[in-house]
């Protein structure tokens, strides 16, 4: 089941999956709305879902006071509310069956506060914490839960957030490393930048990590200064 707002994109993806012998169902829904969440849950009720990939989300960068508040609140709805609303019925389904997996997309920014992307980082801290807790809670039921915390990835993310990323990882690298980690640990840092930043900054005090990532984030919005 492929979920997003743009049906034509989902249908193109469905076609490419079909060419590889994988049957899919395209479900167009806005996960920023209660109706959209309900529509997706309704589709899963008659389907045995083996793996939930909680990836739908977006970010922003810039001064919190200058960012439009509606977009920031909607980000909480999509990144946190919808992800949780979908994880709940699917985890129940998997627990009853005694197997399954949840992969929740976190980020390197989710391990400390990050100036110039404070709300986005906070949504990822929520996802990271939720995954860590659920990983232990659902382990006795043989349901694997994984937080995937990449650094910059070359997707549509940067365009939507108006960020300029350098050295972004390829999505396929992130997907492969993430799937390989499922069932083996509760957090993976896929991609080179995530590992370098994660392990490099890991030993530093949280406040210092915030300052450093704030500088990194500031660098990603420098192009706006002209």
Ligand X SMILES: NC(=O)c1ccc[n+]([C@@H]2O[C@H](COP(=O)([O-])OP(=O)(O)OC[C@H]3O[C@@H](n4cnc5c(N)ncnc54)[C@H](OP(=O)(O)O)[C@@H]3O)[C@@H](O)[C@H]2O)c1
Q: Please tell me whether residue 197 binds ligand X under the rule CB under 6 A.
A: no
CA-based nearest residue to 5, from 84, 82, 110: 82
Q: Please tell me whether residue 32 binds ligand X under the rule CB under 6 A.
A: yes
Q: Please tell me whether residue 57 binds ligand X under the rule CB under 6 A.
A: yes
Candidates 2-10, 64-72, 94-102, 217-225 — which segment interacts with ligand X by CB under 6 A?
2-10
CA-based nearest residue to 146, from 174, 190, 95, 104: 104
Q: Which of residues 62-121 bind ligand X (CB under 6 A)?
A: 78, 105, 107
Q: Please tell me whether residue 150 binds ligand X under the rule CB under 6 A.
A: yes
Binding test (CB under 6 A) with ligand X, winner from 114, 153, 188, 213: 153
Least distance to ligand X, CB of residue 225, Å: 21
> What is the rounded CA–CA span in Å between residue 196 and residue 201?
8
Three-state secondary structure call for residue 226: coil
Q: Please tell me whether residue 59 binds ligand X under the rule CB under 6 A.
A: yes
Spatial contact of 47 and 1, defined as CB atoms under 8 Å apart: yes
Residue with smaller CB distance to ligand X, 27 or 97 = 27
DSSP string covering 45-82, please? HTS--SEEEE-------S-GGGS-HHHHHHHHIIIIII
Residue with smaller CB distance to ligand X, 139 or 224 = 224
Binding test (CB under 6 A) with ligand X, winner from 5, 81, 95, 211: 5
Site string for ligand X, 130-149 (x = CB under 6 A): --------------------
DSSP string covering 117-138, please? SHHHHHHHHHHHHHHHHHHHHH
Distances (CA, A) of 38 to 18, 108, 216: 27, 30, 38
Residues that bind ligand X (CB under 6 A): 4-6, 9, 30-32, 55-59, 78, 105, 107, 150, 152-153, 155-157, 160
């Amino acid at each position: 089941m492929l979920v997003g707002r743009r049906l034509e994109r989902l249908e193109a993806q469905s076609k490419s999956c079909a060419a590889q012998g994988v049957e899919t169902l395209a479900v167009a829904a806005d996960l920023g709305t209660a109706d959209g969440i309900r529509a997706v849950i309704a589709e899963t009720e008659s389907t045995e879902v083996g793996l939930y990939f909680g990836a739908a989300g977006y970010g922003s960068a810039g001064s919190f006071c200058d960012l439009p508040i509606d977009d920031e609140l909607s980000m909480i709805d999509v990144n946190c509310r919808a992800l949780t609303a979908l994880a709940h019925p699917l985890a129940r389904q998997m627990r009853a069956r005694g197997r399954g997996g949840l992969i929740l997309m976190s980020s390197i920014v989710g391990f400390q506060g990050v100036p110039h992307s404070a709300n986005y980082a906070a949504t990822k801290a929520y996802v990271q914490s939720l995954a860590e807790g659920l990983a232990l809670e659902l382990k006795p039921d043989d349901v694997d839960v994984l937080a995937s915390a990449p650094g910059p990835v070359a997707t549509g993310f940067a365009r939507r957030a108006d960020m300029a990323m350098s050295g972004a990882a390829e999505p396929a690298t992130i997907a492969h490393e993430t799937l390989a980690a499922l069932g083996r640990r509760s957090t993976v840092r896929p991609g080179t930048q995530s590992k370098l930043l994660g392990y490099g900054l890991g030993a530093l005090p949280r406040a210092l990590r915030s300052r450093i990532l704030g500088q990194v984030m500031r660098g990603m919005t420098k192009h706006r200064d002209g």
